Structure 1
Amino acid sequence: MSEKQYILGMDIGTTSVKVCVYDPVTTEIVAKQNKDTAANIPSDQGIEGNKQDVPKIVSAVHYCVSRLPRDVLRHVTKIGVCGQMHGVVLWKSGAWEKIEKDGVVVRFEGIRENMSALYTWQDVRCKPEFLDSLPKPDSHLKCYSGYGCATLLWMLKHKPEKLKNFSYAGTVQDFIVAMLCDLETPITSDQNAASWGYFNTEKNEWNVDILKSVDFPVDLLPKVVKSGDFVGQLKESWSGIPEGTPVGAAMGDLQCSILATLESEYDAVLNISTSAQLAIVVKNISDLGCSTVEHLPYFHNTYLVVAASLNGGNVLATFVKMLQQWMLEFGFPIPQSKVWEKLIALGMQAPEASTMKISPHLLGERHLPTAKAAVENIDLSNIQLGLVFRSICDSLIENLHDMMPKELCRNAKIKRIVGNGSGLSRNPVLQRAVEHYYSLPLEFTKGGDAAKGAAIAVL
């Protein structure tokens, strides 16, 4: 009987780390673990900054892998990694150490003194005036606040001494790959590189000359390979995974979640978790007459056409926390799960039409950075809680529809929308809104998470 050969998939997400062991023969998940990172830390930019503690993320990775069955891990023959895009972490030599026991790495630890925090995709320190002052990228993709190159250019202007402390930069998932393979210099995928801005996907190279023209420290930039390529291997056995196991370049969590979900070229994938994205796969970059969608590198030289909204499950979660806080101020603490349960029940009972109009731009949008949330047409007929919740859910899908209209899906011959992400799968009020705005069936497949997609990508 032949030896089993599994793939370890990892997703270094915005709020949690997820890992799974994938069997490419049966296409089933053999084992999985996840852990909230609780990594957010205060920023010196106040609410405009968004930082995470990288050693806490490393610790969550160790926690997940160490809790997978050893007899399963010894059959792992490849490792695929993906994670939250756009963000940047800086480091220098000695940014991690391996804790070994009997010649086996039992865990990795990040060394805070030798690295910066992770400046995430949610960071909004780069104001429109600052972004307008930057040189135009040689790319079909724009550069927004929260993108790696924009954050580094902001530091170059406001904190140049900080940049001089470090030798390397990458996304947090690039850092994890460098740590696992003990890489001297980081290597990233075209998916992560494109998410930083100032990267030409057709030439597969950074805009080095443009960045040098403004004294950007280009030596910090990671080397770029195609998504799915291997960049190194485990130097020692790790929690039972054999020494020498090849590790793929870190990829984008969006691309990997879509790879795990997509079943047909006639599917669109809607992911609603922290934020929200609607995506379809196309063969080339083309003008779709729609400035609010982007072409992101996918796999095998194809592109994802994506409407990527900053407002998704985070808006609904904020509404839930607000209600909890109000009740607490009246002296009635209510568990979050109860609030969700009641809101969904009331939202499902609410009548179809409401005159209330909500703009859900609580976090702005990349194409509308100064937009704010707003409510119009409040009257005595629409202030019931169920109606308000339903109006918020409707507004989130309407916002996505404004970014990627159903006509664009129709032109791409899309037959259905495949749902993904806990923000959508647990919320039938949102699901009803999707079918209403897009006039397409919404279905949930067994596909799903980005960790599984990362495993499939390195097959």
Structure 2
Amino acid sequence: MDRNSPIVIGLDVGTQSVKLVAYDPQARQVAATLGEALELASGDDGTREQRAEWWIDAIRACFSRLDPALRQRTSAIGVSGQQHGFVPLDRAGNVLAPAKLWCDTSTAAECDLIMDAVGGAQGAIATAGNPIMVGYTASKLPWTREHRSQAYAQLATILLPHDYVNFWLTGERWMERGDASGTGWLDVRTRQWSDAMIAATDPDRDLRPCLPPLVEADAMFPIATAIADELGLPRGVRVSAGGGDNMMAAIGTGNVSPGVLSMSLGTSGTLFAYAGQAMVDDEGRWAAFCDSTGGWLPLICTMNCTVATEAVARLCDFSTKRGDELLAGTRPGAGGLLMLPFFNGERTPNLPDGRGSLFGMTATNLTPANLYRAAMEGAVYSLKNGYDAFVDAGMRFEAIRLTGGGSHSAVWRQMVADVFGLPVDVPEQAEGAAFGAALQALWASERASDAGADLPALAAAHVRLDPRLSAHPHAEATAAYATQYQRFLSHLDAIRPLYA
């Protein structure tokens, strides 16, 4: 490794932590990976919030632990952030209130109010390509108007989490179209703000001046001198447009051309694929997002993935690090236990007021191991339910690329392969979103001097799969899961009326 070659840094501001990946593109090696845990403020009404300064403090902590020599070699930074969060700023750039997050379901009623103004969910899809799902940024504005009226009155700029980090780094306010399409205000067909959806959010106030300008995926901005000095970085560092964590994970898993299916197993679970045109579903079965490369990213999101397994681990007083070991004596189907793991409400299926349910309990099968497996299986079944919509629409895939915390687990990997009946591959760099942000920064840097710099070629060169972590479906397990999955769908249909 050339100790003088430039490096690029990817930051991922997630729900549970901030991660930093320092990547040496010349050596094609990750030079450092660092992380800092984050707090989450929760309420029984579905509130899920964080303070923006927590993200900045965590970023500072990561940089403080990064080798000063690596900091001095940094040429560019890319930022990934949890989608849909609402960071309200006043005219001076001060944060007015805690950031309501993607997993905040307290604004479910506001989703309906906005959609009613444009003819319901079908009207929203016809207008901008997406219904306003629980957690989307648009629903947080009328909630803030009602519950934090002073902050709403002073509101001058609407930012998403990754936009706010970019603002802190550069002093500039902007959005790129991938993350912007998760607000509910972007018409994904035209890739421009929808005046109708903005007006539906607040008919008495024009919110358009609060939205920052949209920039292209390869845009770059200079880091603020004071921030460069504070972090020990060269003053010539540039910051790329960045994007939502799913958009960055797509880049980090090489999902920048058709035919690749990526799955991220973290607090939430997501499935996404690249498309060269807008993929709008008339029934709203998936999110018709733009991506952060200039294309589109049809995406399935479940709000409960490791949320469910961690809840069981806390209940049974063991560490999730022991999860694979605990499950060694269990079999597909969890001894008959079936969990609908909707601890945070749910987006896929669309049950924002849903709650977790456990079925099939007997005196012998209710063990910590079976309970943990049932939580894991329920999370994967929710993703399979979304995947079925992709298949119904004619999409076909030959393998799944797995990223996120769940990709570290051999049991998660094998379970996904068996439930979906597809081989599972894992990129060498497990922190897909942070790595993708670094690769976007690298691509944008190359585009600055060569307009023809090709992102698919760059991804093919830098995203490498780890054959030791691959998993292939086992016919017997696939059959067992298929039976249990049908039970999942039956129980799902049975409980829908309870949370409609």
- TM-score w.r.t. the length of structure 1 is 0.84
- Matches of 2:196 and 2:372 in 1, distance apart? 50
Pick one of 249, 264, 270 that aligns with 2:263: 270
Change (3 A) 1:227 1:78: same
Distance apart, 1:402 and its partner CA: 1.1
CA shift, 1:406, in A, is 8.6
In the alignment, what sits opposite 2:400?
417
| Distance of aligned partners of 1:259 and 1:429 in 2 relative to their CA distance in 1, 3 Å threshold | same
Q: Normalising by the residue count of structure 2, what TM-score does the alignment of the two structures yield?
A: 0.78
Kindly tell me: are residues 291 and 273 of structure 1, through their superposed partners in 2, closer, same or farther at Cα, counting changes over 3 Å?
same
Equivalent residue number for residue 48 of structure 2? 50
Q: CA deviation at 1:209?
A: 4.6
- Report 1:85-100 matches (<5 A): 85-95=83-93
SS of 2:62's equivalent?
A: helix
Shift in alpha-carbon separation, 1:132–1:93, aligned structure 2, 3 A: closer
Shift of 1:403: 1.5
CA contact (8 A) 2:21 2:32 kept: yes
- Cα distance in 2 for partners of 1:116, 1:75 equals 36
* Counterpart AA for 1:345: E
Letter of the structure 1 residue corresponding to residue 268 of structure 2:
S
Deviations, residues 217-247 of structure 1 (Å, cap 9, x unaligned): 3322222112232244333433332213221
Q: Secondary structure at the residue paired with 1:125?
A: coil
Aligned to 2:239: 247
1:167–1:219 CA contact under 8 A, matched in 2: yes
Residue matched to 1:303: 296
The answer to whether the Cα contact below 8 Å between 1:200 and 1:206 also exists between their aligned partners in 2 is yes
Partners of 2:292 and 2:151 lie apart in 1 by 35
Equivalent residue, structure 1, for 2:365: 382
Q: How does 1:29-428 map to 2 (within 5 A)?
A: 29-38=30-39, 40-41=40-41, 46-95=44-93, 114-128=95-109, 130-134=110-114, 135-136=117-118, 137=124, 138-183=127-172, 186-212=173-199, 214-216=203-205, 217-236=207-226, 237-238=228-229, 239-262=231-254, 265-286=258-279, 291-324=284-317, 336-337=318-319, 340-341=321-322, 343-353=323-333, 354-366=335-347, 367-405=350-388, 408=391, 411-426=394-409, 428=410
* SS state at 1:415 partner: coil
Which structure is higher in strand share? 1
Structure 1: tracts of 5 or more residues without a match? 96-110, 325-335
Asked whether the equivalents of residues 406 and 438 of structure 1 are also in contact (C-alpha less than 8 Å), the reply is no
Which residue, 436, 442, 448 being the options, matches 2:418?
Answer: 436
Question: What per-residue deviation string (whole Å, max 9, x for no partner) do you get for residues 409-429 of structure 1?
Answer: 995342211221113422x33
SS of residue in 2 equivalent to 1:87: coil
Q: Secondary structure at the match of 2:107?
A: coil
Give per-residue Cα distances to partners, 1:235-278, cap 9 Å, x unaligned. 34333322132212231111112211237754321111111112
Q: Check whether the contact 1:292–1:404 (CA below 8 A) recurs between aligned residues.
A: no
Q: Tell whether the 8 Å contact from 2:312 to 2:375 is kept in structure 1 after alignment.
A: no
Corresponding letter in the other structure for 2:183? W
SS in 2 for 1:404: helix
Q: Distance in 2 between matches of 1:76 and 1:288?
A: 42
Q: CA deviation at 1:407?
A: 7.2
CA contact (8 A) 2:280 2:288 kept: no
More deviation, 77-86/380-389 = 380-389
Task: Provide, for residues 306-362 of structure 1, a one-character-per-residue CA deviation record: whole Å limited to 9, x for no partner.
Answer: 2110010011101111112xxxxxxxxxxx43x652x53342322334333322222
SS in 2 for 1:29: strand
Change (3 A) 1:340 1:19: closer
The 1:300–1:210 alpha-carbon spacing in structure 2 relative to 1, beyond 3 Å, is closer
Unpaired stretches in structure 2, ≥5 consecutive residues:
119-123, 444-500
Question: Are the counterparts in 2 of residues 320 and 340 from structure 1 also a CA contact under 8 Å?
Answer: no
Q: 1:206 to 1:215 in 2, by over 3 A?
A: farther
Q: 1:6 to 1:370 in 2, by over 3 A?
A: same
How far apart are residue 86 of structure 1 and its match? Answer: 0.2
Distance 2:293 2:376 in 1: 35
Q: CA RMSD in A?
A: 2.6
Aligned partner of residue 77 in structure 2, secondary structure: strand
SS at match of 1:71: helix
Q: CA deviation at 1:32?
A: 2.8
Answer yes or no: is the 8 Å Cα contact 2:178–2:289 preserved in 1.
Answer: yes
Q: Cα distance, 1:301 vs. partner?
A: 3.0
- What secondary structure, in the 3-state scheme, does the structure 2 residue paired with 1:382 have? coil
SS at match of 2:285: coil
Cα distance between partner residues in 2 of 1:287 and 1:81: 27
Please report how far the alpha carbon of residue 395 of structure 1 lies from its aligned counterpart in structure 2 after TM superposition.
Answer: 1.7
Q: Partners of 1:51 and 1:228 in 2: how far apart?
A: 30
In structure 2, distance between residues paired with 1:21 and 1:37: 20
Distance in 2 of aligned mates of 1:219 and 1:373: 40
- Within 2, Cα distance between the matches of 1:67 and 1:153? 40
Aligned counterparts of 1:218 and 1:212: Cα–Cα separation in 2: 9
Q: Distance in 2 between matches of 1:394 and 1:210?
A: 37
Distance in 1, Cα, partners of 2:258 & 2:27: 23
> What is the SS of the residue equivalent to 1:81?
strand
2-structure distance, mates of 1:117, 1:24? 37
Q: 1:289: Cα distance to partner?
A: 7.9
